[in-house]
Amino acid sequence: MGAMANPVILTVDDDPVVSRAVARDLRRRYGERYRVIRAGSGPEALDALREIKLRGEQVALLLADHRMPEMTGIEFLEAAMDLFPAARRVLLTAYADTDAAIEAINVVDLDHYLLKPWHPPEEKLYPVMDGLLEAWAATPDAALTEIRVVGHRWSAPSFKIRDFLARNLIPYRWLLTDDPEGARLLAAAGASETDVPLVVTAEGKTLIAPSAAELASVVGLAVEPTTDFYDVVVVGGGPAGLGSAVYAASEGLRTVLVERRATGGQAGQSSRIENYLGFPDGVSGAQLTDRARRQALKFGAELLSTREVIGLTEAGGARLLRFGDGTEIAAHTVVLATGVSYRVLDAPGVGDFTGRGVFYGAVSTEAPNCVDQEVYIVGGANSAGQAAVFFSRYAARVHLVVRGPDLTASMSRYLIDQLEQSDRITVHPHTQVVGAAGGDHLERITLCDSRTGEVRTAETSWLFVFIGAEPRTDWLDGVLLRDERGFIITGPDLVTDGKPPSGWSLSRDPYHLETSLPGVFAAGDVRSQSVKRVASAVGEGAMAVSLVHRYLEAQ
């Protein structure tokens, strides 16, 4: 397999003299065991960290000067946490900046701060570095565990495995069956090219075509609840569900979040969300999801993966949720935050290539494979616009296929401006995909202009679909009131002529986010008449918890 590169110590300082001096002192003591890399600014250092991350290497320690013009040391360390959360963090400060350094202990979980000058290093630098590096080496870092996946390039089952790992933020290495290393792994596992996808864990355990639940159990995701009764069960791990889990757990409620696929929902697939409060430079859906997951776990919430809820019943003061395997959990209250799914593109041939050139949502794992190729995106809302901007960094050209006359009715202005400014993005209004064809993968699509009826063929192996959303609420049929599209009706919308819905058992009217079953609340996109935005979903998730408290206090 080849020897792994030494872990990295990265130093950041905009003063070349100081930068060289820090690197010199660190290399003198640690150069045999670590690679000491220096950068002249925060952005330059972040670029270096991204490259290190892509190579699957480790970062043991980050040492950043506080006063830098483009990005302060605190800002850099905060951004670096998303890439290497286990790396030890040190701030280099002048005596006048000690207050900022103390503040950074809370902001970026700072491990230490050093005052300039640090000479002699034997007294002021090395003892601190020794302790931090020993602590890093003694702490297992899940983010550095390498899982290897071997499969075929245009295999839908292989894509499902890679997509599951990526959406759950599990690092992995993708190997084709005809790669030398992929072939060696197949041979070592006693498998052939037909026995794919093959998953090899860091411990050497092999799984052939594992189910999502099997894969979750070996990569460290929780799949079983620790008890059978909770204060609140949150169903769905998108922004609304994560918001509920964070607030419920932080307020002392016994909380479990149940997700059938991956936390983050549709927002978790967004390459960059630029209109979310508090992130002026934007934030990726994966970053936002990771931070929310860590918050929920920090406060004691349980997060269960690959568990699909298929039933909800009332049992006296409890609410029972039934899983697909027949097991159940119970709770005083339930928050339904199951979100929505992209609609399937109903055109001849399209279904034959799902996972083999046709993808639903912004599948970031495929972006590097789209270099210098023609990419087609179907949809006119924000998610499609974000995907177009993202894929334009890789593709020769991105074609945005829109059924309507333009984008103004469904897309935010800031995204429309970005699309118009890009010379790699072409918008095709009044256009629909009406067919797809190919061999072992998608090779061409058929487009139709709805104004003229003109039909044309486009050569492409990449079609990403964002054509509206449908709630996954069929399992609630006969249990909760839903609107004609399947969205869950809540609060005042349940009251007709001053009367609560039929079967309502309480003397009061339903709370704002409460469903037709008392103690069961809906938040986010799955709720009828909700605002389909990340910020509003998080807000509703928090509001649902306040209503849970009101409900519990009244019992």
| 3-class secondary-structure state, position 248 | helix
CA pair distance 171, 158, nearest whole angstrom: 15
Check residue 269 and give its pLDDT: 77
Q: State the CB neighbour count (10 A cutoff) for residue 406.
A: 13
- Maximum C-alpha span of the chain: 81
Separation of alpha carbons 47 and 503, rounded Å? 59
User: DSSP of 320-348, one letter per residue?
Assistant: EEEETTS-EEEEEEEEE---EEEPP--ST
Q: For 448-458, write each residue's pLDDT tens digit.
A: 999 999 999 99
DSSP per position, 447-462: EEETTT--EEEEE-S-
Q: How much is the average pLDDT of 299-324?
A: 96
Percent of the chain with pLDDT over 70: 95
Asked whether residue 14 falls in the same domain as residue 92, the answer is yes
Q: If we measure between CA atoms, which residue out of 445, 413, 452, 412 comes closest to residue 429? A: 452
Residue 108: predicted pLDDT: 61
Q: Please tell me the distance from the alpha carbon of residue 442 to that of residue 433, in angstroms, as a whole number.
A: 13
DSSP state of 354: B
Residue 353 pLDDT grade (very low, low, confident, very high; cuts 50, 70, 90): very high
Q: What is the pTM for the complete model shown?
A: 0.74
**What phi and psi, each to the nearest 5 degrees, are found at residue 107?**
-70, -50
Please report the pLDDT score of residue 106 as a whole number. Answer: 59
Structure tokens at 123: 């007294």
Same domain, 16 and 122: yes
Residues 152 and 238 in one domain: no
- The C-alpha atoms of residue 42 and residue 108 are separated, in whole angstroms, by 15
pLDDT tens digits along 6-23 = 899 999 999 999 999 999
Of 45-59, 202-216, 281-295, 506-520, least confident by mean pLDDT is 45-59
**Residue 143: its H or E element:** none
State the pLDDT at residue 81: 84
Last residue of a domain, one of 109, 141, 173: 141
What mean pLDDT comes out for the span 240-266?
Answer: 95
Residue 285 lies in a domain: yes
Q: Which two tokens stand for residue 456?
A: 């044309």
CATH number assigned to the domain comprising residue 18: 3.40.50.2300
**Rounded CA gap, 363 and 167, in Å?**
9
Q: Which residues pair with 457 in a beta bridge?
A: 446
* pLDDT category of residue 2 using cuts at 50, 70 and 90: very low
Same domain, 162 and 260: no
Q: Are 388 and 365 in contact (CB under 8 A)?
A: no
Residues 330 and 382 in one domain: no
Residue 407 and residue 494 in one domain: no
Specify the CATH number for the domain of residue 400. 3.50.50.60
Is residue 223 in a domain?
no
Mean pLDDT of the chain: 90
User: What tens digit of pLDDT does each residue of 444-483 get?
Assistant: 999 999 999 999 999 999 999 999 789 989 999 999 999 9
| Same structural domain, 134 and 13 | yes
| Together in a domain, 393 and 500 | no
Residue 205 lies in a domain: yes
Question: What pLDDT shows up at residue 99?
Answer: 65
Could you tell me the residue range of the domain that residue 50 belongs to? 8-141
Identify whether residues 270 and 292 lie together within a single domain.
yes
pLDDT at 143: 40
Ramachandran class of 291: left when φ > 0, alpha when ψ lies in -120 to 50, beta otherwise: alpha
| CA-wise closest residue to 191 among 200, 133, 50 | 200
Distances (CA, A) of 454 to 83, 431, 432: 48, 10, 11
First to last CA, the chain: 61
Handedness of CA 27, 29, 32, 34 (dihedral sign): negative
Whether residue 330 sits in one domain with residue 476:
yes
Which of 467, 495, 511 is the last residue in one of the domains?
467
Q: Please work out, in degrees rounded to the nearest 5, the angle formed at the alpha carbon of residue 396 by the alpha carbons of 393 and 400.
A: 80
As for how many domains the chain has, the answer is 4
Alpha-carbon distance of 236 to 339, in angstroms, equals 7
Tell which of 467, 491, 514 closes a domain.
467
- Checking if the pLDDT of 79 tops 90, the result is no
Is the pLDDT at 54 greater than 80, yes or no? no
Say if residue 316 is in the same domain as residue 412: no
- The pLDDT score that the predictor gives to residue 144 is 41
Query: Which contacts qualify for 206-210: CB closer than 8 Å, 24 or more apart?
Result: 209/157, 210/161
Q: What are the residues whose beta carbons fall under 8 Å from the beta carbon of 459, sequence distance 6 or more?
A: 374, 443, 444
Q: What pLDDT is attached to residue 441?
A: 96
The b/e string for 469-507 (b: 16+ C-beta within 10 A; e otherwise) is bebbbeebeebbbbeeebbbbbbebbeeeeebbeebeee
Rounded mean pLDDT, 30-47: 94
